[in-house]
Amino acid sequence: MPNPKELSDSLALAVEHIRALHGILAALTIDVSAQRKIVLNSPKTSRRYRHALAIEAEKVKPLVAIAMEAYDKEILRLKSLGQWRN
pLDDT tens digits along 44-69: 888 888 898 899 889 989 988 998 89
Contacts of 10 (CB under 8 A, 6+ apart): 74, 77, 78, 81
pTM value is: 0.54
Is the confidence at residue 76, as pLDDT, over 70?
Answer: yes
Calculate mean pLDDT across residues 40-44.
81
Q: Provide, rounded to the nearest whole percent, the portion of the chain with pLDDT above 90.
A: 14
Q: What values do phi and psi take at 3, rounded to 5?
A: -75, 115
Cα distance between residue 75 and residue 10, in whole Å: 10
Predicted local distance difference test score (pLDDT) of residue 62: 92
Residue 28 pLDDT class (50, 70, 90 cuts):
very high
